[in-house]
Structure 1
């Protein structure tokens, strides 16, 4: 009897620890922050600091729902569009209901082996963003709570106090 090989989680491909060569070759990891005048810049910097402190591979992407990258950490250039597209598809596949999509942050959690991914839908003035954070070496509960809090902070930074 033979078993099919288990393919890695599609959002985990290309995820690499800083200072290591990405699994798919020698592609350079992208580090793109929001512009210096962006209200999201200090929040993104704190996210990157925490991800670098995790003892395991990690990555993050803040993108518009159309797939335009706003900020990137730990992904290759080729992975950015794929992760944005898969994040949008994973979020769209969730069950209907839940928080008001126009005013509240909502999340989807994915786990493959020891790697966890949390995708947060972040409403903002006139546009919605998706924050995708993947990490190994942290529990999914901690990653979800932490990503949700960051998404709430990004929401407030982009829309101002309610």
Structure 2
């Protein structure tokens, strides 16, 4: 199944998901602010840990540049809570167990894994502008060095 990919200029799909503390978090909670929404395959795996730690360590500087950050995976909130605690993460971690939001953002679909075509999470990052539109959509991103590349792509200082 080929997933529909979002393009800059389209409205960001609305969502309300449960975070690692059991609270509901909606995209509309960030209205009037820029938000980086990133999708990752699984909490507590090496690449996803690298990426989440990178975003957490960069959160203060991203906020100074006017951005909030949320991470979304298909993990249950309890696993996300363990992930946050184990790795001292400071970004909100949201659970999309039924993959509705993944599909809406094109972050679920066919991908290559060790030379085979499989269906799964497509590591993706979106920047939602203050008016709720997608300003940047990045698919098949690399976990390592992602925040530095994102900063470059957004024209932000390192």
Give TM-score, length-normalised by structure 1.
Answer: 0.36
**Higher RCO (Cα < 8 Å, 6 or more apart):** 2
Give TM-score, length-normalised by structure 2.
Answer: 0.36
Q: Which has the larger Rg?
A: 1
